[in-house]
């Protein structure tokens, strides 16, 4: 192991040929972020320029009545009110997003498993009007849902147990945890989750997004410093803002920048008063869903110990998906769960349910039970959803089937990634992450790729501005343990066809 790896330093671009103690096997930590090719950047800017010009033209035509206006308009009674939306704010929505909106919000009418049935829609007038054709596209291979371990099932032990639970408890709880909403099934779930993660205690909430936005304000407040990774999720950003602490953003997964900011924070204190910060909280995610990268946890922990900061780890995408037993990014790096102060995660992705949790030592969890905004004011999790998590947890942690699912997911990730790289696509992120973002740069290619894949029977997710930088539109494949090897091979051959049709093989790597 080289010295750089011992300190937890990793290169961002290109492979990092280091081996680290990852659970029971030595694992190669390999991340790649090939820089944008100049040709792709130029083409993308030209795309945007053309679409923008046409946008201005069409806006002009619509304003002066040459073209029919399909958008909803303000009530005539309210014409003297200050306009609700600035006209330029929605320029992007009207003229760029609208043209490719058929690739978003596709309604489905089946369980979001390995294959789905998509309700067909037809768009006309450049995307302004749509209607349902009445047909369904059946058995489309699902490469877009967060179904990492394949627990989105409508038959089997999980769904039977959920139905029993719905009969026993009903569906609604109608009260908050602190009042009359604390059911025995919640306590059981929290204990089981704490045991699974290897921590003292755990508290659960009804929504993953609300877990972040209602609990970060309980842990830090004004006079504290938050160091947040540049690519953190919107819920983390909202939680940080609501806490009123000072937020400083460090470059994505960049340990040097984090160290610099930590050092400045401790040494120079608060900006004007020079008083020391009350607490410093580092917020990172386990797997970043837009980049497919895994956090450099050994590096962050080393810095955390040195500067006495606290670490908040959001494992929304990594719980269940990384590690030999699915315990997340701590197991992946061979680190004990007690080293992370606050472990947060969601049940939506790997467990096929909904909701979020925060786990840690008992003092933390009891503090949140008393002070969390969600525990005090929001209703608790619905019992059938709790039961789904309990059943899937027992399968993941205790049975052969669970281990097989985890192995299948890891295998699928490797096969798919290597397949895409061989085809010449630029794939971001870590080899082991279940999220596979492939860069297309231009929003027009995004639209074309998604539509063509749908014609070939594959459902993919395209993401553009503002979720990604404006030049870096991408398609994000989500691997699932439910996908068979044949489905993955078929997906790769469809990608290969489209790679030559749409000129998508940007990668210069050999």
Partner 1 sequence: MEMDKPWIVAEAIQSALQAPFYHFILEGLLVIWILRLIFSKSYKIHQKETLTKKEKEELVGSWQPEPLVPPLEKTLAKTRPYRLVSGQVGKNIVVDGYKCKNFASMNFLGLVGNKRVEEKIEKCIRTYGVGTCGPRGFYGTFDVHLELEERIAKFIGAEEALIYSYGFATIASAIPAYAKRGDIIFVDEAVCFAIQKGLQASRSKIVYFKHNDMNDLEDKLIEQEKIDKKNPKKAAVIRKFMVVEGIYMNTGQICDLPKLVEFKFKYKVRLFVEESLSFGVLGDHGRGVTEHFNIPVSKLDLVVACMEYSLASVGGFCCGRHYVVGHQRLSGMGYVFSASLPSLLARAAIEGLNISEENPDIFAQLRQKAAFLQDLLKGIKGIELVGYPESPCFHLRRLHPVTPEKDLKFLHDVVNKCMKNGICITVASRLKEEFLSEWPASIRIAVSVEMSEEDLDEAARVIRHAVEEACNKCKGS
For the segment 417-446, give every residue that binds partner 1 (CB under 8 A).
none
CA–CA gap between residue 410 and residue 396 (Å, rounded): 14
Per CB under 8 A, the list member of 96, 114, 141, 207 interacting with partner 1 is 207
Q: Least distance in Å: CB of 290 to partner 1?
A: 12
CA–CA gap between residue 444 and residue 245 (Å, rounded): 40
Largest Cα separation within the chain, whole Å, is 72
Q: Least distance in Å: CB of 406 to partner 1?
A: 17
Verify binding: residue 318, partner 1, rule CB under 8 A.
Answer: no
CA–CA gap between residue 321 and residue 410 (Å, rounded): 8
Q: Least distance in Å: CB of 88 to partner 1?
A: 12
> Please, are residues 321 and 163 in contact by the beta-carbon 8 Å criterion?
no
Q: Which is nearer to partner 1, 26 or 167 (CB)?
A: 167
Verify binding: residue 301, partner 1, rule CB under 8 A.
Answer: no
Q: Within a 10 A sphere around the Cβ of 39, how many other Cβ atoms?
A: 11
User: Residues 6 or more apart from 58 whose CB is under 8 A from it?
Assistant: 67, 95, 126
DSSP 277: P
**Which H, E and C letters describe 226-245, residue by residue?**
EEEECCCCHHHHHHHHHHCC
Helix (H) or strand (E) holding 217: helix 208-219
> Please, are residues 220 and 245 in contact by the beta-carbon 8 Å criterion?
yes
Choices 40-48, 155-163, 245-253, 420-428; region in contact with partner 1 by CB under 8 A = 155-163
Q: Least distance in Å: CB of 152 to partner 1?
A: 5
Q: Least distance in Å: CB of 368 to partner 1?
A: 8
Verify binding: residue 228, partner 1, rule CB under 8 A.
Answer: no
In the region spanning residues 387 to 416, those forming contacts with partner 1, defined by CB under 8 A, are 388
Per CB under 8 A, the list member of 66, 81, 272, 400 interacting with partner 1 is 81
Verify binding: residue 119, partner 1, rule CB under 8 A.
Answer: yes
Verify binding: residue 231, partner 1, rule CB under 8 A.
Answer: no
Q: Least distance in Å: CB of 209 to partner 1?
A: 4
Verify binding: residue 470, partner 1, rule CB under 8 A.
Answer: no
In the region spanning residues 275 to 294, those forming contacts with partner 1, defined by CB under 8 A, are 276-280
Could you tell me how many residues of this chain bind partner 1 (CB under 8 A)? 118
Q: Least distance in Å: CB of 38 to partner 1?
A: 31
Sign of the C-alpha dihedral computed for residues 303, 308, 314 and 318 taken in this order:
positive
Give CA 104 to chain center in angstroms. Answer: 16
Verify binding: residue 272, partner 1, rule CB under 8 A.
Answer: no
Verify binding: residue 341, partner 1, rule CB under 8 A.
Answer: yes
Per CB under 8 A, the list member of 242, 415, 470, 502 interacting with partner 1 is 242
Q: Least distance in Å: CB of 83 to partner 1?
A: 8
Per CB under 8 A, the list member of 181, 320, 323, 334 interacting with partner 1 is 181
DSSP 104: S
Verify binding: residue 104, partner 1, rule CB under 8 A.
Answer: yes
Q: Least distance in Å: CB of 108 to partner 1?
A: 6
**Which of 460, 457, 476 lies closest to 468 in space, CA to CA?**
476
Q: Which is nearer to partner 1, 20 or 261 (CB)?
A: 261
Per CB under 8 A, the list member of 370, 398, 422, 497 interacting with partner 1 is 370
Q: Which is nearer to partner 1, 309 or 423 (CB)?
A: 309
Verify binding: residue 457, partner 1, rule CB under 8 A.
Answer: no
In the region spanning residues 251 to 270, those forming contacts with partner 1, defined by CB under 8 A, are 263, 266-267
CA–CA gap between residue 428 and residue 504 (Å, rounded): 14
How does 401-430 read in b/e, with b if 16+ C-beta sit within 10 Å? ebbebbebbbebbebbbebbbebebbbbbb
Distance from the first to the final alpha carbon of the chain: 25
């Amino acid at each position: 192991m080289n010295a750089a790896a011992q300190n937890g330093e990793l290169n961002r671009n290109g492979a990092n040929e280091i081996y680290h103690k990852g659970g029971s096997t030595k694992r190669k930590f390999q991340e790649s972020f090939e820089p944008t090719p100049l040709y792709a950047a130029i083409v993308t800017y030209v795309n945007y320029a053309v679409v923008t010009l046409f946008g201005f033209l069409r806006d002009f035509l619509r304003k002066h009545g040459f073209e029919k206006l399909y958008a909803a308009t303000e009530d005539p009674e309210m014409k003297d009110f200050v306009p609700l939306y600035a006209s330029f704010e929605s320029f992007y929505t009207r003229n760029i997003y609208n043209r490719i909106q058929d690739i978003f919000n596709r309604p489905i009418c089946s369980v979001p498993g390995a294959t789905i049935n998509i309700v067909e829609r037809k768009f006309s007038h450049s995307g302004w009007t749509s209607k349902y054709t009445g047909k369904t596209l059946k058995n489309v291979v699902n490469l877009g849902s967060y179904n990492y371990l394949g627990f989105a099932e409508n038959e089997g032990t999980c769904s039977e147990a959920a139905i029993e639970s719905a009969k026993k408890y009903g569906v609604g709880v109608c009260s908050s945890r602190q009042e009359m909403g604390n059911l025995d099934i919640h306590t059981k779930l929290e204990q089981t989750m704490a045991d699974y993660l290897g921590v003292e205690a755990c508290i659960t909430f009804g929504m993953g997004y609300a877990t972040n936005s209602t609990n970060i304000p309980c842990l830090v407040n004004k006079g504290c410093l938050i160091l947040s990774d540049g690519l953190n999720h919107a819920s983390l950003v909202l939680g940080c803002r609501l806490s009123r602490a000072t937020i400083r953003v460090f470059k994505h997964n960049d340990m040097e920048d984090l160290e610099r900011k930590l050092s400045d924070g401790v040494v120079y204190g608060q900006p004007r008063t020079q008083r020391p910060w009350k607490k410093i909280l580092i917020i990172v995610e386990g797997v970043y869903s837009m980049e497919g990268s895994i956090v450099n946890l050994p590096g962050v922990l080393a810095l955390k110990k040195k500067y006495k900061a606290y670490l908040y780890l959001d494992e929304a995408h990594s719980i269940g998906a990384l590690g030999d037993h699915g315990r997340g990014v701590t197991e992946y790096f061979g680190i004990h769960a007690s080293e992370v102060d606050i472990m947060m995660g969601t049940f939506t992705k790997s467990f096929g349910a909904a909701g979020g949790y925060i786990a840690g030592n008992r003092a933390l969890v009891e503090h949140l039970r008393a002070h969390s905004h969600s525990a005090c004011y929001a209703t608790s999790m619905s019992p059938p959803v709790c039961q789904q998590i309990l059943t899937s947890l027992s399968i993941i942690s205790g049975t052969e089937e669970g281990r097989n699912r985890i192995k299948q997911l890891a295998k699928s990730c490797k096969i798919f990634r290597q397949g895409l790289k061989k085809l010449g696509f630029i794939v971001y992120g870590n080899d082991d992450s279940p999220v596979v973002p492939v860069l297309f740069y231009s929003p027009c290619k995004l639209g074309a790729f998604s539509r063509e894949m749908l014609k070939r029977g594959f459902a993919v997710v395209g993401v553009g501005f503002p979720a990604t930088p404006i030049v870096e539109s991408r398609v994000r494949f989500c691997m699932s343990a439910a996908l068979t090897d044949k489905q993955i091979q078929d997906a790769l051959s469809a990608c290969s066809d489209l790679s030559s049709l749409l000129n998508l093989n940007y990668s210069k790597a050999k």
